[in-house]
């Protein structure tokens, strides 16, 4: 805990340069002293109450409110308090901590006092700043004197790993970051395995440059990583370094990049890479095989994938000169296929699983959350061909090992075929979520994805109605303003489904509680909810009073002329999100794309976009990496935190708010 001197120094700096609220900390300014006194008491207590301090950058601008938590764990609790106290009633609030700048004197004071990731900045308008201040005073009074919560009960690592896998598979980007941070803080798995999780997440987001700059990459390359991690690193390396060089400078230049790589990423290439699903990883692996003189592997990769012409010509049978092991460049020397490490996250713990049925039986027998990855799943019989048998296996699954089964949902979502769904299997897993009463944000994302699979399977009216009634039976546990985005994702998915009898009742039951509290929703989320209910003629009212409208995002008061690129394989979510953008920000231009691989059109859209939003649940990894690597300088890249249109709209809203802030600062 910091000393009183540190606190005094912080107050002096916070109300110094760049803040006109309390000039020279003049004690004779009675009005300001009386306003600040209840807020400053939190400095002495350092309890559950956050430190709330006002800032005015210029006299003609409204006051901003800095809400400062004492650490990152406290910040996560403060987020919910702000949602209840002021969000959308009196100030815009997207739930994210502020990205404070060391170059700003007030921000620097906060960073030096409590560090990054702890502070929210509320920006009410002139019309609502008084009521926002009153609401914050009420919140401070309710928390005054409460000691800070220091939870001692740690969640099981297996539970956190299950939620992390589900968050990744369902596209819940923010949730996956939060869970990964929790795993890093709690421990229970090795630093090496934490690095594996981090690489998987960065790969899903298409952040190839960040992945290759990760501080753990050198150790990871030499540690025999799991297959998914191996493929992710090779794909990022291919898109960032090797394939661009091959295209611009030719074969010899690309081979020099491979031989000079540090760390030696080529060590990750072995016979298993033929099972890869990332064509870029396969392409760079073929080049490594050519450099080694491994004609067999090069030919296998050329036969299995549609590789660039230059690689295809070099790798065809008879074109690769055989090189003795001792003559191969040291950095790309032959690597024998290594056996999987059973204790590593990402590889199966029991190699006997050779089908989906055997894999589920292994989960039931071992009851281990580490037994859920199956690198061989691409070779198994497709899910839709064993749909009914899988559903029966899930129905009879031992309840004692339910965690392992629910973590396995991530693997189902990874191998979901949009054109050939497995609706009975998805329905059985959905029942397990409901019976286990698992409704965390990651779980709700998975539930939404399972409902989408069921709908693509064209259920009968009786089956469909029963599924909706089952889900609705537990809705009181998770339908709330705090989960508004997840709720609308699910409601919109059902609204786009078959027009059976219970559909409208289901959507009404989910959205009515949100309609009653619509002043707590942002304008774009209200717009989307109104589109959903209007499509079904439900008659729910989403209008708000003019006084409340002034608290919506600053983007409402500033012309938004940004060029927006939306990427997802879910064309329905793209269309719905485009409609909301057109209604909320009519001066913005929107491009949508659902290509599975990079191309000239996608490259042009990425380079021209000011704001790029990626939905990783329904996206091709190669395309997301292609988009991020071709994004224009200064482009703001955001990620939908879920599987539906509401998640995408929320990401657009956040990104456009950031775009407005950057544009305003530039002026």
What value, to the nearest 5°, has the Cα angle with vertex 320 and ends 319 and 324? 150
**Backbone dihedral angles phi then psi of residue 275, each to the nearest 5 degrees:** -80, 0
Task: Please state the pTM of the whole predicted model.
Answer: 0.69
CA dihedral 59, 62, 65, 66 (to 10 degrees): -60
d(CA 120, CA 93): 9
CA separation for the pair 579, 247 (Å, rounded) = 38
Give the Å distances, CA to CA, from 623 to 143, 606, 618: 47, 11, 11
Confidence (pLDDT) at 341 = 41
> Which pLDDT does position 66 carry in this prediction?
95
Beta bridge partners of 322: none
DSSP, collapsed to helix, strand or coil, labels residue 594 as coil
Instruction: Provide the pLDDT for residue 374.
Output: 43
Cα 371-372-376 angle, rounded to 5 deg: 100
7, 594, 607, 640 from 619: Cα distances, Å: 48, 8, 19, 11
Asked if omega into 83 is within 30° of 0 (cis), the reply is no
Q: Can you tell me the distance from the alpha carbon of 518 to that of 288, in angstroms, rounded to the nearest whole number?
A: 57
pLDDT for 369? 45
Is the torsion defined by CA of 649, 653, 656, 658 positive or negative? negative
Instruction: State the 10-residue block means of pLDDT for the chain, 667 residues long.
Output: 62 89 84 86 86 86 89 84 79 82 90 88 87 89 81 71 81 81 78 88 87 87 85 90 88 88 88 85 89 86 80 61 50 46 41 74 69 59 90 89 80 82 93 91 88 92 93 93 89 88 92 88 86 89 64 56 90 87 90 83 91 77 79 88 82 86 68
* Distance separating alpha carbons of residues 163 and 169, to the nearest angstrom: 10
φ and ψ at 640, to 5 degrees? Answer: -70, 130
Which sign, positive or negative, has the C-alpha torsion 128, 133, 138, 140? positive
């Amino acid at each position: 805990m910091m000393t009183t001197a540190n606190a005094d120094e912080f107050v002096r700096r916070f109300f110094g340069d760049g803040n006109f609220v309390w000039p020279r900390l003049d004690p004779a300014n009675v009005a300001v002293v009386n306003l600040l006194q209840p807020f400053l008491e939190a400095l002495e207590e350092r309890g559950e109450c956050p430190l709330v301090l006002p800032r005015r950058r210029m006299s003609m601008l409204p006051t901003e409110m800095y809400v400062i938590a004492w650490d990152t764990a406290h910040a996560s609790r403060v987020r919910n308090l702000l949602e209840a106290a002021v969000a959308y009633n009196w100030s815009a609030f997207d739930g994210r901590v502020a990205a404070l700048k060391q170059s700003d004197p007030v921000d620097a004071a906060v960073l030096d006092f409590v560090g990054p990731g702890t502070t929210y900045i509320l920006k009410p308008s002139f019309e609502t700043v008084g009521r926002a201040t009153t609401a914050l005073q009420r919140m401070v009074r309710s928390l005054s004197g409460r000691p800070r919560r220091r939870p001692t009960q740690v969640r099981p690592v297996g539970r956190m790993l299950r939620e992390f896998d589900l968050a990744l598979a369902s596209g819940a980007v923010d949730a996956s970051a939060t869970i990964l941070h929790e795993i890093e803080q709690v421990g229970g798995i090795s630093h090496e395995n934490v690095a594996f999780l981090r690489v998987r997440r960065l790969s899903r987001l298409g952040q190839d440059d960040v992945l290759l700059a990760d501080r753990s990459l050198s150790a990871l390359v030499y540690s025999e990583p799991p297959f998914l991690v191996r493929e992710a690193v090779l794909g990022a390396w291919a898109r960032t370094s090797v394939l661009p060089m091959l295209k611009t400078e030719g074969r010899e230049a690309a081979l020099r990049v491979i031989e000079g790589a540090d760390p030696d990423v080529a060590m990750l290439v072995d016979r298993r890479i033929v099972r890869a699903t990332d064509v870029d990883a396969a392409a760079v692996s073929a080049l490594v095989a050519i450099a080694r003189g491994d004609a067999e592997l090069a030919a296998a990769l050329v036969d299995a994938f549609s590789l660039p012409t230059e690689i295809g010509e070099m790798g065809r049978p008879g074109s690769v000169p055989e090189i003795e092991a001792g003559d191969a460049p040291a950095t790309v020397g032959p690597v024998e296929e290594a056996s999987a490490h059973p204790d590593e996250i990402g590889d199966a713990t029991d190699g006997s699983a050779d089908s989906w049925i055997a894999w589920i039986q292994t989960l039931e027998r071992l009851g281990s959350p580490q037994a859920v990855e199956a690198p061989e799943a691409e070779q198994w019989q497709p899910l839709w061909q064993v749909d009914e048998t899988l559903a029966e296996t899930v129905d009879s699954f031992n309840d004692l090992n339910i965690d392992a089964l629910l973590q396995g949902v991530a693997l189902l979502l990874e191998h979901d075929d949009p054109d050939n769904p497995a609706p009975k299997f998805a329905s059985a897993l959905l029942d397990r979520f409901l019976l286990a009463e698992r409704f965390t944000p990651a779980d709700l994302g998975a539930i939404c994805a399972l409902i989408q699979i069921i709908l693509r399977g064209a259920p009968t009216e009786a089956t469909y109605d029963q599924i909706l009634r089952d889900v609705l039976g537990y809705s009181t546990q998770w339908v709330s303003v705090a989960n508004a985005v997840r709720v609308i994702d699910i409601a919109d998915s059902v609204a786009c489904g078959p027009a059976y009898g219970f559909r409208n009742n289901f959507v009404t039951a989910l959205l009515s509680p949100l309609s009653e509290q619509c002043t707590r929703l942002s304008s774009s989320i209200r717009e989307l909810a109104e589109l959903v209910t209007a499509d079904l003629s439900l008659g729910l009212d989403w209008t708000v009073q003019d006084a409340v409208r002034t608290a919506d995002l600053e983007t409402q008061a500033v012309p938004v002329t940004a060029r927006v690129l939306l990427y997802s394989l879910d064309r329905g979510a793209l269309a719905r999100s485009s409609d909301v953008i057109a209604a909320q920000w009519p001066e913005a231009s929107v491009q949508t794309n659902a290509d599975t691989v990079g191309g000239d059109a996608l490259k042009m859209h990425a380079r021209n976009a000011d704001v790029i939003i990626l939905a990783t649940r329904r996206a091709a990894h190669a395309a997301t990496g292609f988009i991020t690597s071709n994004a224009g300088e200064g482009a703001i890249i955001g990620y939908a935190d879920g599987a539906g249109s509401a998640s995408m709209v929320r990401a657009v809203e956040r990104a456009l708010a950031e775009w407005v802030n950057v544009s305003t600062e530039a002026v």
